[in-house]
Amino acid sequence: MTRRTVELAVLLVVAAGLLARESTLRAGSAIYCVPTLATSVFLGLPVPTENLTFKAKVGGVEAAEAGPPAGYALARAPSTAVTPATTEGDVVLKEFKFRDGEAIPELRLHYATLGKPTRDAAGRVTNAVLLLHGTGGSGAQFLQPQFADELFREGQLLDTAKYYIILPDGIGHGKSSKPSDGLHAKFPQYDYDDMVAAHHALLEHLGVQHLRLILGTSMGCMHSFVWGETYPDFVDALMPLACQPMQIAGRNRVWRKMVMDAIRNDPEWKAGEYTTEPKQAQRTALDLLLIAGSAPLQMQKNYPNRDAADKYLDDYFTSRMPGLDANDLLYQVDASRNYDPLPNLEKIRARVMYVNSSDDFINPPELGIAEREIKRVKGARFVLLPVSDATRGHGTHTWAAVWKQYLAELLAGK
- Cα 306 to its chain centre, rounded Å, is 30
The pLDDT tens digits for 366-408 are 999 999 999 999 999 999 998 888 899 999 999 999 999 999 9
Quote the pLDDT of residue 241: 98
Looking at residue 326, the DSSP 8-state letter turns out to be H
Average pLDDT, the chain: 84
C-alpha–C-alpha distance, residues 401 and 406, integer Å: 10
Quote the pLDDT of residue 97: 97
The pLDDT tens digits for 307-331 are 999 999 999 999 999 989 999 999 9
Calculate ∠ Cα 387-368-49, nearest 5°. 15
pLDDT band at 296 (very low <50, low <70, confident <90, very high): confident
C-alpha–C-alpha distance, residues 367 and 376, integer Å: 17
Residues 219-256 as b/e (b if ≥16 CB within 10 A, e otherwise) read: bbbbbbbbbbbbbeebbbbbbbbbbbbbebeeebeebb
Is the pLDDT confidence value at 288 over 60? yes
Give Rg (Cα) of the chain: 21
Transcribe 159-225 into DSSP letters.
Answer: -TTT-EEEEEPPTTSTTS--GGGTTGGGS----HHHHHHHHHHHHHHTT---EEEEEEETHHHHHHH
Among candidate residues 94, 99, 129, 92, the one with its CA nearest the CA of residue 113: 129
pLDDT band at 272 (very low <50, low <70, confident <90, very high): very high
Quote the pLDDT of residue 414: 75
Is the pLDDT confidence value at 277 over 50? yes
pLDDT higher at 42 or 271:
271
Strand partners, 392: 394
Is the pLDDT confidence value at 46 over 90? no
In this structure, are residues 110 and 175 in contact, taking their beta carbons and an 8 Å threshold?
yes
Region of residue 323 (phi > 0: left; psi between -120 and 50: alpha; otherwise: beta):
left
- Cα 322 to its chain centre, rounded Å, is 22
User: For 246-271, what is the mean pLDDT?
Assistant: 96
Lowest-confidence region among 75-79, 191-195, 237-241, 322-326: 75-79
pLDDT band at 148 (very low <50, low <70, confident <90, very high): very high
C-alpha–C-alpha distance, residues 47 and 58, integer Å: 26
User: For 283-294, what is the mean pLDDT?
Assistant: 92
Lowest-confidence region among 62-71, 109-118, 338-347: 62-71
pLDDT higher at 114 or 20:
114
User: For 176-180, what is the mean pLDDT?
Assistant: 98
User: For 30-45, what is the mean pLDDT?
Assistant: 29
Quote the pLDDT of residue 85: 87
pLDDT band at 81 (very low <50, low <70, confident <90, very high): low
The pLDDT tens digits for 210-238 are 999 999 999 999 999 999 999 999 999 99
Is the pLDDT confidence value at 37 over 50? no
